[in-house]
Structure 1
C-alpha cells in the first residue's frame, strides 16, 4: 500500500511489502509501512535518524535547522540573562551593604526565638563539619590514624594572625579602657570599634600562647572561644549577684557587670568526671571564669572590627577518653537550648588527648 507523499519528508519513502521494493530501498531513507516494523527496520530508522549522509541531517535536522535553533536559544538566554543582571543591579543599588534591612526582632536569627540570640564559636576547628579535637600529645605531626598536635597549634596561629595585622582599617580602632558604653556607642555607628589587644595573653604570662604551643604538646589544650556577631545586638549583663545563675553567685565580683560571662564544662555527668581543672584567660582579672567585655558591642559592621576572645585552658583532663564539652555564654538576654540541632548561646565540641 502506497503512502501519500504529501505527508512525507524528502528523506522518507513508503515501503510496500513486495520483495522488489524492499531491494530497491535507498539505505539513506526512513522505512515507513502499515505493518509493524521489525527490529532490523527500527534499527535502520534509528541510524538514519542519527545521521543521514544523503541529506546531511543529524537527528532529523540539517545544519541550517540546527543553526536556527541554536540562534534562537542563544538570543533567548541572553535576553533572560540581561533581565536577571538588571534586577541584580537594581537590588545592589538600593540595598545598603553595611546595614541589613531586617535586624533585631525582625531578623532571620530571631525567627525561632523572641529575640536575636548569639551563639559561640571555637578554634581550632580543622574542619567546619567536625567538632572533634583529637591528637597525640607526644607527636607533633600526624601519622596514620594518629593526629599530631601541630595542626591545631598552626590553626590557632593563623586565626590569631588577623589580630596582629595593623592596616588602615584597624588603625580606626580605639582604646576603650575605662570608657562607658554610652559614650562609645555613638562612635561605633561612625565606624570605630574597640581595640582588642592580643598581646594581653602574652603579657599575663598565660600558657595559651604560641611560644608554649598552646599547651597542646603537654596534653593540656587551650581552646579559643568567640561570641558570634549579630548586627546591632547588645548584651544586657548581670548587675548583681542576685541576677546571675546559681553557679556564679559564690564567684560574684563587681567587674562581672561589664562582661558576658563564659563557662565550660562536661556536657554530661560522665564527661564532667573526666574534666578535673579548667582555667579561663580573658580581659577579666580572674581565671575562674571567662568573659567578653560589653564595650565590643554592638557590632555594626565597623571596618577592622576584632571580636573579643576567651581562652579556655583544660589544665587537667583524663587522657584517651572522649570528652563532650559544652561552653555557654551568660547574659540576661542570652537564651540557652539543649537541642543538638539548634544551639543557642553555647557551643559543643569533643576532646580526645592521647
Structure 2
C-alpha cells in the first residue's frame, strides 16, 4: 500500500508540481515559449501557403485556360447517344426508339427561335457561311458578348418540327452532330483536298468545316445508302466561332449539322464513321470522339 501511494504521488506530482509550479514537467514560462514558437512556425507556413495560392491566382484568367496549348482539338458529339455507341431499333415498335427521340427533343429545345428573340443576347449572323465573328479579346472590357442565332428549322426534316420522330418511325433515322466547345478556338477549313476522301471533296467550301459519314468496315460498303446533311453549308460555319466561355458567352449556341440515313439496308447492323475535316482538327485512335465518332446503326423490320 505505501508503494502504491508513492506511485500515485509521483504521477500526480508529474502532472502538477506545486513546489516548482510545473505542469507536465514544464513551468508556465516554458509552455509559453513553446506555444509562441509553434504559433510563429505554423503562422509562417500558413502565410507561405496563402501567398503561393495568391500568386498562382494572379496568373490565372477568369475567361480562358492558362495552358490552352495543352487542350485537345475539339471532339465530335452526336445525339442521340448510347453507352454502347449503337442505335438499334425497329420503325414498327415505338418503344425501341422513343428514348432516342426524347433526347433529341430535349437537346434541340434551346434552338427554338422563340427562345432567341432577345436582341440584347442574340444577333442574326445569317443563314449562309461567313468568316469568324470577332467580338473583342477575352480580357477586354466589352463584357458579355452576343451569340449568333441558330434556328433548328435549318435542320430540315431532322428538326423535329414536322416529324416528331426524327425519321425513326420511317426507318430513316437522324443524328444531330456538334463540335464540342473550346474557349477561343477557331477551326480552320482544309487547305487542300488531300486529307479528305474523294467522295467528300465536293463539300469543301469557304467558311465551313465539312463533315462526312461513311461505312467504317469494308464489308459494309454499299449498305449505308444515301446520307443527307442539313444545316448551314451542310457543315459547321465559321461565324459561330470563337466561343468566349460561359462567363462572356452564356447564351452561346453551337452550330449543328443533322445527318439522315434515308435508305440504309434493313436488318443489318452497320458501323458508321463520321469525321470533320479542318487544318487544325486532328484524330486520335485512343479517343473515339476526337474530330470523329463511330456508331453501330441498325434498322430492323420484322
Query: What TM-score results when the alignment is normalised by the length of structure 1?
Result: 0.60
Aligned to 2:241: 297
Alignment of 1:32-47 (within 5 A): none
Contact 1:169/1:304, CA 8 A, preserved across alignment: no
Give the aligned partner of residue 236 of structure 1: 188
2:118 and 2:184 map into 1 onto residues whose CA distance is 20
Counterpart Cα distance in 1 of 2:74 and 2:237: 15
Q: 1:242, 1:249 within 8 Å by CA — same for their partners in 2?
A: no
Distance 2:176 2:255 in 1: 10
RMSD: 3.5
Greater relative contact order structure (CA < 8 Å, 6+ sep) = 2
Q: For 2:157, what is the secondary structure of its paired residue?
A: coil
Please tell me whether the aligned partners of residues 319 and 352 of structure 1 are also in contact (alpha carbons under 8 angstroms): yes
CA contact (8 A) 1:187 1:193 kept: no
Cα deviation, 1:226-279, whole Å, max 9, x if unaligned, reads: 01111111122146x7666251576267xx111000001111112333201111
**In 1, distance between residues paired with 2:241 and 2:115?**
21
C-alpha deviation, 1:294, in angstroms? 0.8
Structure 1 match to 2:23: none
Q: Deviation at 1:216?
A: 0.2
Aligned with 1:270: secondary structure? helix
1:45-83 CA distance string (max 9 Å, x none) = xxxxxxxxxxxxxxxxxxxxxxxxxxxxxxxxxx9xxx8
Match of 2:77 in 1: 121
Structure 1: gaps (5+ residues)? 9-78, 110-116, 142-147, 285-289
Output the CA distance in 2 between the equivalents of 1:313 and 1:238. Answer: 24
Q: Contact 1:271–1:325 at 8 Å: present in 2 too?
A: no
2:28 alignment partner in structure 1: none
Distance 1:170 1:159, change over 3 A: farther
> Aligned match of 1:137 in 91, 94, 97?
91
Alpha-carbon shift at residue 137 of structure 1 (Å): 0.9
Indicate if the aligned counterparts of 1:208 and 1:313 stay in contact, CA closer than 8 A.
no
Matches within 5 A, 1:166-205: 166=115, 171-177=120-126, 181=131, 184-186=133-135, 189=138, 190=142, 191-201=145-155, 205=156
- Per-residue CA deviation, residues 157-204 of structure 1 (Å, 9 max, x unaligned), is 00000222627988522112279536x313585422221122223xxx
Which of 215, 222, 226 is 2:174 aligned to?
222
CA contact (8 A) 1:170 1:303 kept: no
1:163 aligns with 2:97: no
Secondary structure of the corresponding residue to residue 103 of structure 2: helix
- Contact 1:157-1:210 at 8 Å conserved across structures: no
Partner residue, 2:258? 311
SS at match of 1:295: helix
Aligned residues: 247
Of residues 272, 276, 283 in structure 1, which corresponds to 2:225?
Answer: 276
TM superposition shift of 1:218: 0.8
TM-score (norm 2): 0.69
C-alpha distance in 1 between matches for 2:129 and 2:171: 39
Q: Is the 8 A contact 1:238 1:257 kept in 2?
A: no
Does the C-alpha gap of structure 1 residues 136 and 223 become closer, same or farther in structure 2, counting only changes over 3 Å? same
Write the distance in 1 (CA, Å) between the matches of 2:241 and 2:85. Answer: 27
- Whose radius of gyration is greater, 1 or 2? 1
Work out the CA distance in 1 between the residues paired with 2:200 and 2:97: 37
